């Protein structure tokens, strides 16, 4: 039987869906969380710092449903604990947004093991391990008609080198992009896996630095990314419109 044609509002709706957004307490993660909540989703946000995670969740609850689940995603055990905490609250989850990230600025002579270990642990290994442990919840939500979704936040720095001494960061984000492709092939058709590679957003990582003017000049739109830009891309991928 032919499936009915959905209205535009239905096509882009995520109302009633449940999402986990890591690093959802600030920056792009918070922008996505706010957009999801305004669109009618129940959102769980994580942060390594329990106090700021709770404060952000309280602020976002003015828009709708938001719950804080603090977690340290730099370790395999921390990723497992977050998945376990979520499973105690939800039998299934529709959307996982792997957004938590770390950066390290140091010239090549000083870019030591501490830099690589910290950045890769969160940006790459954390994405993989959390996905592993949340997988049963995603599979429980997925149907043939409406797959569950994983959205990984990569970076334009993972596509081309930038002007910063962020060797580990760029390499980790390039790894996220390839990992996304690998997971997309492995988890289809019940779960779609996509990456977003944001350009410059006014986050703690880059806004206000000496390269800001040059950075904005290198973008087609000549401006910082906005909340609607982050939320819109994620909502598209999480909705019926992005299911293929």
Q: Are 238 and 95 in contact (CB under 8 A)?
A: yes
Query: Rounded to an integer, what distance in angstroms lies between the CA atom of residue 75 and that of residue 100?
Result: 13
| Closest of 204, 117, 128, 214 to residue 169, by C-alpha | 117
Q: Which residues contact 146 (CB under 8 A, 6 or more apart)?
A: 240, 243
Let me know if 164 is a catalytic residue: no
**188 to 215, 234, 236: CA distances (angstroms):** 36, 19, 18
Cβ partners under 8 Å of residue 47, min gap 6: 23, 24, 25, 26, 53, 56, 68, 70, 71, 100
- Cα–Cα distance between 53 and 45 in angstroms, integer? 7
Q: Contact 70/52 with Cβ under 8 angstroms?
A: no
Per the residue annotation, which of 44, 164, 167, 169 is the catalytic one?
169
Catalytic residues: 169
């Amino acid at each position: 039987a032919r499936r009915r044609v959905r209205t535009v509002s239905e096509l882009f709706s995520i109302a009633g869906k449940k999402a986990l957004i890591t690093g959802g307490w600030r920056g792009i993660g918070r922008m996505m969380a706010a957009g999801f909540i305004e669109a009618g989703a129940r959102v769980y946000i994580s942060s390594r710092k329990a106090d700021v995670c709770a404060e952000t969740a309280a602020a976002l609850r003015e828009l709708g449903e938001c719950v804080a689940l603090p977690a340290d995603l730099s370790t395999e055990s921390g990723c497992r604990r977050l998945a376990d905490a979520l499973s105690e609250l939800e039998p299934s989850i529709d959307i996982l947004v792997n957004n938590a990230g770390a950066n390290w600025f140091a010239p090549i002579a000083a870019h030591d093991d501490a830099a690589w270990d910290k950045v890769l642990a969160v940006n790459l290994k954390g994405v993989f391990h959390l996905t592993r442990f949340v997988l049963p919840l995603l599979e429980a939500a997925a149907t043939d008609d409406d797959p569950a979704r994983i959205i990984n936040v990569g970076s334009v720095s993972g596509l081309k080198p930038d002007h910063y001494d962020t060797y580990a960061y760029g390499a980790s984000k390039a790894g996220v992009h390839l990992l996304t492709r690998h997971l997309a092939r492995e988890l289809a058709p019940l779960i779609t896996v996509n990456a977003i590679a944001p350009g410059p957003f006014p986050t703690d990582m880059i806004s206000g630095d000496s390269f800001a003017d040059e950075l904005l000049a290198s973008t087609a739109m000549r401006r910082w990314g906005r909340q609607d830009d982050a939320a819109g891309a994620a909502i598209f991928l999480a909705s019926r419109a992005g299911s293929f």
